[in-house]
Each structure stands twice: as structure tokens, then as C-alpha cells.
A = this chain, B = another copy of it.
Amino acid sequence: MPQPHQTMAAVTPDGVTVKGLDLVDDLIGAVPFTDMVHLEITGHLPAPGARAALDAVLVALTEHGTTATAVAVRLTDLGAPGALQGAVAAGLLGAGDRFLGALDGAARLLQEWPDDAEPDAHARRLAEEARSRRDRLPGLGHPVHTEGDPRTARLFAVADAAGLDPAPRERFLLLQHHAERAANRTLPVNVDGASAVLLTAAGIPWQVCRGIALVARAAGLVGHLWDEHRAPAAQAMLDAADAAAPYRAPEATK
């Protein structure tokens, strides 16, 4: 077992080294925040294509209106005003398997794709396996954007313009094709699927794709929190939630 260590940063009285780079000389004022996100995760600064992909995904995942996480942030602030970090944390806690599992799930399929497999046959097998366990392939379909997620085409256009490797997208479209055949209905690629394609092409490991989404959501949740401070809506949201599910006595209180 190697000696325990960390590879993130060394802090001395007169400097900070981050992943082998000098925070002051190489990073602050020299690179955009997106590059710093990339550096923290991969250990190196991004090539222009990877930066474009990461920017597009971060922008796409920042905001989606009154989500469960946005409401949780406002309700937490209602009870614990001032503890900004607590409200943001409460919001992030809801960014779990149901909302973000599709992102890393789709990225995992793409990153564990065997290079020697016949692509169409592999995609068909994955689609059929999912169907046989009454599951669905991640990154397809959307409860609101039923006719197609408007973010997807744009993300793919960014990938083209940035000159990213087209293989992940081709593979994901094969998955979509076989999933639609198996389900006998339209299953548009959603923002999670498209983000998985771009992050894979940009070299982000699937295990940490959810982390990218958390950074984006943190920004979105800070936005909702500040919106709440200027135009309070949490009490109205709480009252409506309360009314939407009234008390009913449990059936047996033996």
C-alpha cells in the first residue's frame, strides 16, 4: 500500500501549489474558472475542446427552474436564515440518483464500452438487458421535455464546433436507437445523456461526472437563495405543499 498522501495542493507560508502548478503565477488571473474545475479533477489544464465541452455542460446544468433542489434551498433558508452554506448543502443533497444518476450512468456505459465490440450489437445488448430487468437506459427521455430536450442539440453542436471525438455520440445514438426499438416509442436524448457524451469526449471519468453537475447546481442554488432574499416565496411554497397533501389518519394505530 502506498504511503497515504494527497495530490491536490501544498500550502506554505508564501505560496500555494495546486496539482503541480503555482496558484498565483499560473492560475489566478491566468485561467478561467472552468479550467480550474478541470485541473482539480483531471490534474491538468484542459485543451480548448475540453474547455468548451465543460463550459457548455456546466452552463446547461446550472438552472432548471423550480426543481426539488431549488425548493429545498428556499425552505431551508426559511428556517435557518443566514446559514448560506446550510441551504446550499440541503439543496445539493437532493441532487442524487434520480436526477444525476442518469449522468454518471450514461457516462459509465460510454467509458466502459469495449473497443473490440461490434458497436451495434453491443448497443442492442445493453438496451435489451435494461429492458429485461424493467429498467431504462440512462440519459433518454424527459418528463417535461417530452418531444425532445432542447439542450441536447445545442450541446452536440458545441461538441462539433469544438472538434471533439465523435465516437461517444455515435455510440450513444446507437443506444438510443435500440432503446427506442425495444420500447417501441420515442426516447429523446436528454441533457444528462448529452452531457455524458460531452464529458466523456472531454476525458472526464464517469465517477466524477456527478461532481461537475454539483458545481453547476451549487451556482444555481446560490441564485435561487439570493432570489428568495429579494422576493420571498418560501412561505407560499410551504403553504402550497402543505395543502397539497393533507393529513389522513394512519389505518391501524393498534
Q: Interface residues of A toward B: which range?
A: 35 or more
- A6 contact from B23, B32, B59, B247, Cβ within 8 A: B247
The proximity string for A residues 195-220 relative to B, scoring 1 for CB distances below 8 Å and 0 otherwise, is 00000000001011011101110111
A154/B247 in contact, CB under 8 A: no
Query: Complex Cα distance A77/B68, Å?
Result: 9
* A220 cross-chain contacts in B, Cβ below 8 A: 8, 40
Q: Do A6 and B92 contact each other (CB < 8 Å), given the known contacts A16-B63, A244-B233?
A: no
Docked-complex contact A28 and B60, CB < 8 angstroms: yes
Q: Please state if B64 and A69 are interface contacts (CB–CB under 8 Å).
A: no
- Residue from B59, B86, B239, B240 in contact with A36 in the complex, judged by beta carbons closer than 8 Å: B59
Given A23-B150, A240-B244, 13 extra CB contacts under 8 A: A7-B231, A8-B220, A19-B249, A24-B153, A28-B155, A29-B56, A37-B62, A40-B220, A78-B94, A78-B98, A85-B214, A215-B219, A237-B241
A interface, CB within 8 angstroms of B:
2, 4-21, 23-25, 27-29, 31-34, 36-37, 40-41, 43-44, 52, 54-56, 58-60, 62-72, 75-90, 92-100, 144-148, 150-151, 153-155, 157-158, 161, 205, 207-208, 210-212, 214-216, 218-220, 222-227, 229, 231-254
